[in-house]
Amino acid sequence: MSKDGLASTPACSAILRLRENGIAFGGFILTASHNPGGIDADFGVKYNTANGAPALENLTDKIYERTKVIKEIKHVKLLDFDLDTYGTKVLIKEQFMAEVIDGTEDWLRLMKAVFHFPSLRRLIQSPSFSFVYDGMNGVSGPTAERLFVEELGAKPTCLRCCKALPDFGGHHPDPNLEYAKELVDMMRIFNPDKVDSKTPLLGAAGDGDCDRNMILGPGFFVTPSDSVAIIAQYAEKVIPFFMKGKDGSGGIKGLARSMPTSMALDSVAKKLGKDIYETPTGWKYFTNLMDAGRLSICGEESFGTGSVHVREKDGLWAVLCWLSIIAYRNGLMDNVERELEMQKQGQIVPTLPPEKIENFVGVQQIVEEFWKEFGRNYYMRYDFENKCSESANKMMAFLKSLTVGGQEELQKHISAAVPQELRTKLQAEKIDVFKYTDPIDGSVADNQGIRLFFPKGRAIWRLSGTGSSGATIRMYFELVEDRPDQLLKKPREILSDLIAYAIAFCKIKEYVGTDVPTVIT
């Protein structure tokens, strides 16, 4: 058990994998994830296996079958013990020992092995750099304080909402443009003309259990899809864990994204010569690839980013990646190979920051340079939350019926449902149901979303499985643009026709009573 009962989801994965050489065969995580938590809201029990990953369906299905034959529930009264003190050990019924541990220690030690902390200290302590992290009153707050303030020397004022609260302060701890409003306002995301010298150069947010992240620059939002692609682009240059050795060893093994995530990562994989995997939504689909040595970095459009270092997405890992990229682009990692060798020999690496960084390279410049090299995947997501489950399922069933009717049936529906003006601008090529066959164990995941393809884009429909009431319909819109004069437009400007086309195509207003989303990302 972790001190104060607090440990992030990625930290729990690290504990299972590393503590006492990975002796544990599993662990229980009590969590509300990124949903509203507390007595009157969400609270769940999650089981992770010995590799630190969420239990796969072949195990959870067996557990579910066993619940069908439960005839009685027995309770064991536990002794009162102190969760506030490290090392507290309690013998329970003379059968097993409970110990209070530092829930951050294993994860933090791992981060020091993955990243080059001296470079990060130079950046964070530089007078030319400013940074803010919003813990959204989740478990990421105490972890962020330990990481940024105690280890990297950041000022405590760079942290906001970092006190962990059982109900997350009554807020929804989901790091997106809707729910992280105070951070979004501070970073002037919707008012870039008001960016000034007081606006932090990097803004980041975590969620309730510290596995999601949002990255912001002054007046600039980094989509999760672009974020994981850029991390992959720079990983072998800025993250020691992925740097190639002089003998050619190391480096990135492969990349993966969930199906709804934009295809920006595919472009990076192609240039780097790496395998790319497209999986259903759900981190468990990445872990088989990791355990087989095929996958190094992966991400989801739902603000989840991670790597093979643990078997969960890791929000603070993603923030450290961006800090590393910024440090690299501003000349703070020029001697990283020599300094890594010094660390191996037990020597102290100097971390004194420069007095001033000339021509500072920030988040927006890094992203825009990425677009110029790879093209821009314009991307938006609409969430229709807490809708009637029956109506939502009827809509999805209707869309699925279009996948089996052939091209003639598809075009017939388009002619009837989509206005002529939109049909002239966008020509749908095909529609399908996303089905995934795991390349490692051959397991099949069907009905993972409906995809409508266009020559340079796609629209996607999914029902979300992470909410606790009603149904959430998610719609995703993506168009690829590589013309130089079209790279810096507003997403809505580029995607407006595709959005209107997809909304008309699926007849969502007819099914759920509205075509106005609850959340736009």
What residues act catalytically? 33
Distance (Å, whole) CA 15 – CA 310 = 10
Distance (Å, whole) CA 285 – CA 21 = 25
* Phi (first) and psi of residue 214, to 5 degrees: -130, 135
Cβ burial, residue 304 (10 Å; 0-12/13-18/19+): buried
Name the residue among 195, 187, 190, 192 with its Cα closest to residue 217: 187
Q: In this structure, which long-range contacts are made by residues 143-151, counting pairs with CB atoms below 8 Å and at least 24 apart in sequence?
A: 143/8, 143/11, 143/104, 143/107, 143/210, 143/316, 144/206, 144/316, 146/104, 146/108, 147/108, 147/111, 147/316, 147/320, 148/124, 151/108, 151/112, 151/117
Place of tokens 């067996």: 62
CB atoms closer than 10 angstroms to residue 338? 10
Distance (Å, whole) CA 303 – CA 300 = 6
Q: Collect all residues with Cβ–Cβ distance below 8 Å to 127 and sequence separation of at least 6.
A: 353, 355, 356
Residues 16 and 309 sit within 8 Å (Cβ to Cβ): no
Distance (Å, whole) CA 238 – CA 81 = 44
Structure token pair of residue 500: 């209107």
Residues 307 and 299 sit within 8 Å (Cβ to Cβ): no
Q: Collect all residues with Cβ–Cβ distance below 8 Å to 273 and sequence separation of at least 6.
A: none
Structure token pair of residue 209: 């259990």
Distance (Å, whole) CA 205 – CA 133 = 6
How would you classify the pairing of strands 202-206 and 213-217? antiparallel
Distance (Å, whole) CA 174 – CA 247 = 43
Q: Which DSSP state fits 209? A: T
Distance (Å, whole) CA 37 – CA 34 = 8
Place of tokens 């790597």: 307
Distance (Å, whole) CA 360 – CA 375 = 24
Name the residue among 382, 417, 391 with its Cα closest to residue 507: 417
Distance (Å, whole) CA 7 – CA 104 = 7
